[in-house]
Chains A and B, each alone.
Chain A
Amino acid sequence: MLKRSHFRPGLLPYLLVAPQIIITLVFFIWPALQALYESFYIQSAFGLGSTFVGLENFISLFEDPLYIESVWRTFLFSGLVAVLAMSLALTFAALADRVIRGALAYRTLLIWPYAIAPAVAGALWIFMFDPTLGIVSYTLDMFGIEWNQAVNGTQAMALVIMAAAWKQIAYNFLFFLAGMQAIPPSVYEAASIDGASPIRRFRDITLPLLAPTSFFLLVMNIVYAFFDTFGIIDAMTQGGPANATEILVYKVYQDGFVGLDLGGSAAQSVVLMFIVIALTVVQFRFIEKKVQYA
């Protein structure tokens, strides 16, 4: 969109957009094209030239059982992070929404984990679950549960899910609370005159009216779990034990920087780009819909 009245074009608008366009071209478009280009080539050993191989990198990627496992693992991981973080946040928001006095204080006390870096969150949780010293693993030991995420893949997965969800609760909480506070009180009053109990009101009024917020949050949580949890994984498990926590974004890094498989890593980058584009499109369609109804 453009303003009805606007300035005459000259050199100025180009100078104004130049910084952003230059940075975008150099650090976004160029690397993305580079990844696309490399994904069609195989680098010979020692980096001496490369051969065009068409879709071979993609074919071998999808024939690689390790990659397919990583895909499923990523879906499992993001699904569980989203469900855990959203259900806890919904509970907290429902409680905070009932409070008249002190709601702001509770909000302050619940939103700050958003500010903590994923890698730092990873350090806190790995300390609590340290197999020999950690407070939680010590307590679990008293109940006869032996905790060691360095050996047990399921426990490692559970641990990164908990740490990732812990950080994301704050974000979901804010949006759920805002959504609940936007519901007019008269709706609740009418329902309670009809004899609806608080639980009934929550189920039949709050939850349906929160559906758009929940959908938006679901997409945002999946994006978060897919791409922003790199620091958590790297600080806690480095994708281990035996790849048990190696999600896609960690595998790109692992294969590209550690394994130095340029073509394979580039093909993975391209696949991830398609996932991001798909998620962005889904989100935009949702926002368009919401604007129409508003």
Chain B
Amino acid sequence: MVERRPMSDFLTHAGLMLSVLLIAFPVWVAFVAATHDAARMTQVPLPLWPGDHLWQNLKVVLIDGYTGSSGGVPMWLTLTNSLVMALAIAIGKIVISLLAAYAVVYFRFPLRMLFFWLIFVTLMLPVEVRILPTYEVVANLGMLNSYAGLSIPLIASATATFMFRQVFLTIPEEMLESARMDGAGPLRFFWDILLPLSRTNIAALFVILFTYGWNQYLWPLLITTEPHMTTIVMSIKQMLAAAEQSPQWNLIMMTSLLAMLPPLLVVVVMQRLFVKGLTETDK
């Protein structure tokens, strides 16, 4: 800042702390609910300070399964499903986008521009928009209730391909010339030069895509009908629906915490990469 003003500095910090509290309040309420037993959660007013049932609730949700919902699937299973889906989507998108961007930037071949435009149009078609026909395709291919059905239809990504294309375009021409002079073939060049040079971009993209994959909701809701294929995000909806009569908020909120924790940790721990990934894929 330009001038020193102790009073306005104080107000700035106070304002920021208030913002942080405002943003964090819903999660604090959820955390408090997850630490109380079912009886306390039916008395008004609800507590604002943690109780001593945290581990007990965690064990019920994680291992025994919430009996109010269909089948009472334990959350360790839904967490595993979410993890597999998120990793498959993130890694799948990165691999196919790297390969496609490499082909488009470093090879001149017939139909190159056609392929480029085919990839480009997917930018405009979020899954929510073409939901019914996409579901029909997946059902016809027999991919319902499978990890393949959960992840592959979400894997094609124009944004990731464009980002890698930008990255490759900034790599100096001399790299390829000197690599070829040293006798490197196309695959060798890709593996030994392009991949190491795009390492931070790959990591940044991974943070964004992992969060994207983990948080998928509508797609898993349609593709999975068997309880053992449920992801944790969609299991919350099932709990809320089952809870219409007598909601066990302590268990629902415990599940919500489990569902938000993995992507939240990835974003906070890899904050620098997260910001890079967010700004580069969207712009």
Contacts and interface: CB of A to CB of B under 8 A. Distances in A.
Interface of A: 1-7, 9, 12-14, 16-17, 19-21, 23-32, 34-35, 38, 88, 91-92, 95-96, 98-100, 102, 106-121, 123-128, 130, 132-135, 138, 166, 169-171, 174-175, 178, 185, 188-189, 192, 198, 201, 216, 220, 227-228, 230-231, 234-235, 249, 252-253, 256-257, 262, 265-266, 269, 272-273, 276-277, 280, 287
Interface stretch (B1-9, B50-58, B60-68, B197-205): B1-9
A92 B16 contact: yes
A238 to B, nearest CB: 9
Contacts of A201: 2
B161 interface: yes
A229 to B, nearest CB: 10
B233 A231 contact: yes
Given A1-B105, A227-B129, A166 B26 contact: yes
A231 B235 CA distance: 12
Q: Helix, strand, loop or mixed for chain B's interface?
A: helix
Nearest to A38: B133
A261 B19 CA distance: 45
Contacts of B125: 28, 32, 273, 276
A269 B126 CA distance: 11
B253 interface: yes
Interface string B232-254: 01101100100000010100110
10 contacts: A2-B104, A3-B168, A19-B99, A98-B8, A123-B253, A166-B26, A192-B2, A234-B218, A252-B129, A280-B124
B182 interface: no
Nearest to A106: B16
A21 B282 contact: no
B4 to A, nearest CB: 11
Contacts of A25: 118
A257 B136 CA distance: 11
A117 B233 contact: yes
Interface in B129-158: 129-134, 136-138, 141, 152-153, 155-156
Question: Nearest 3 CB-CB pairs, A to B?
Answer: A31-B133, A117-B215, A9-B109
Contacts of A126: 240
B65 to A, nearest CB: 18
B104 A4 contact: no
- Which of B138, B214, B216, B256 lies at the interface centre, i.e. has the most chain A CB atoms within 10 A of its CB? B256
Contacts of A91: 15, 19
A273 B137 contact: no
A98 B20 CA distance: 16
Contacts of A257: 131-132, 222
A54 to B, nearest CB: 20
A123 B106 contact: no
B84 interface: no
A108 B156 CA distance: 31
B107 A117 contact: no
A127 B249 contact: yes
B15 to A, nearest CB: 5
A46 B89 CA distance: 36
Chain A interface helix/strand/loop/mixed:
helix
- Give the one of A21, A116, A266, A273 with max B CB within 10 A: A116
Interface in B95-135: 95-97, 99-100, 102-110, 112, 115, 118-119, 121-126, 128-134
B260 A117 contact: yes
Given A265-B132, A269-B133, A23 B107 contact: no
Given A127-B29, A133-B42, A192-B2, A92 B19 contact: yes
Given A115-B215, A127-B252, A234-B217, 10 more contacts: A3-B176, A9-B108, A31-B137, A32-B133, A119-B236, A120-B215, A120-B259, A235-B237, A256-B132, A269-B132
Given A9-B109, A28-B130, A128-B26, A253 B15 contact: no
A95 B211 CA distance: 28
A277 B33 CA distance: 43
Contacts of B138: 27
Contacts of A98: 1, 8-9, 12
Contact of A253 (B106, B107, B218): B218
A256 B131 contact: yes
A7 B214 contact: no
A155 B13 CA distance: 33
Nearest to B14: A95
Contact of B30 (A127, A138, A198, A227): A127
